[in-house]
Amino acid sequence: MTAETGSRARQRERTRRALLREGRRLFAEHGYAGVGLSGIVAAADVTKGALYHHFEGKPDLFRAVLEEVQGEVADAVAAAADARRDPWDQLTAGCRAFLTASTAPDVRRIMLVDGPAVLGWSTWRSLDEAGSARHLREALTGLVRAGVLRPQPVPPLAHLLSGAMNEAALWLAGSGDPGDLDDVWAAFSGMLESLRSP
């Protein structure tokens, strides 16, 4: 190139970032199947050679994007939970943070709709477990051990609650009525409440 763009490592990181950024934008806008590698590399102003130098292929690029998205959601959940001291408040705050974060269009499309189909459900689940699902499971485990929740197996509970929130987020993202969030939260918090020890 004409101008020096920094050291080799810096340029490498720039290219990788550009691919992730444009990939995320296009995947979120048109869906995984609706965007081709040519569109991604053109938007990132590189060639397919660069993409295949950084990633193993289209599914691998998508996986990297998904990990980034799930990481952000997990951070939001953790931040909301850490702002509370009471373990029960941490659970409810984390769930509420997950619900609002997952309603964002790119999260919805990449994480909830295309994710399982592109990577397969088991792979998607392991990524989810590495992200926000781990927070949920750990919070539930802690509450059961502390006696706040009735003694019961945690994994089934975590899956039921996770699935309920995922579907709720998908529905909320499509329903313009902002009052729906309150209704969903009322119903969901009622479910959580029913799990408490008497």
Partner DNA sequence: TACTTCACATACCAACGGTATGTGAAAGGC
Partner DNA sequence: GCCTTTCACATACCGTTGGTATGTGAAGTA
- Write out the residues near a second copy by the rule CB under 8 A: 31-33, 108, 112-114, 116-118, 120-122, 125, 152-153, 155-157, 159-168, 170-171, 174, 180, 183-184, 186-188, 190-191, 193-195
Q: Which does 37 bind (CB under 5 to 8 A by kind): a second copy, DNA, none?
A: DNA
Residues 6 or more apart whose CB falls under 8 angstroms from that of 64 comprise 20, 23, 55
Task: Identify any residues that bridge with 149 across adjacent strands, giving them in sequence order.
Answer: 196
Q: What is the 3 state secondary structure string of 105-161?
A: HHHHHHHHHHHHHHHCHHHHHHHHHHCHHHHHHHHHHHHHHCCCECCCCHHHHHHHH
Closest distance to DNA from the beta carbon of 61 (Å):
8
Q: Which does 171 bind (CB under 5 to 8 A by kind): a second copy, DNA, none?
A: a second copy
Does 126 help bind DNA (rule: CB under 7 A)? no
Query: Distances in Å between the alpha carbon of 66 and those of 114, 130, 150?
Result: 10, 12, 34
Q: Which does 9 bind (CB under 5 to 8 A by kind): DNA, a second copy, none?
A: DNA
Tell me 56's DSSP state: S
Residues 6 or more apart whose CB falls under 8 angstroms from that of 130 comprise 70
Quick one: 2 or 122, whose CB is closer to a second copy? 122
Of these, 35, 73, 93, 143, which contacts DNA (CB under 7 A)? 35
Report whether 97 contacts 77 (CB < 8 A). Answer: yes
Q: What is the 3 state secondary structure string of 19-55?
A: HHHHHHHHHHHHCCCCCCHHHHHHHCCCCHHHHHHHC
Quick one: 46 or 136, whose CB is closer to a second copy? 136
Q: Which does 38 bind (CB under 5 to 8 A by kind): DNA, a second copy, none?
A: DNA
Closest distance to DNA from the beta carbon of 131 (Å):
24
Does 48 help bind DNA (rule: CB under 7 A)? yes
Closest distance to DNA from the beta carbon of 72 (Å):
24
**Dihedrals φ, ψ of 196, to 5°?**
-70, 155
Q: Which residues bind DNA (CB under 7 A)?
A: 1, 4, 7-9, 11-12, 15-16, 35-39, 41, 46-50, 52-54, 57-59
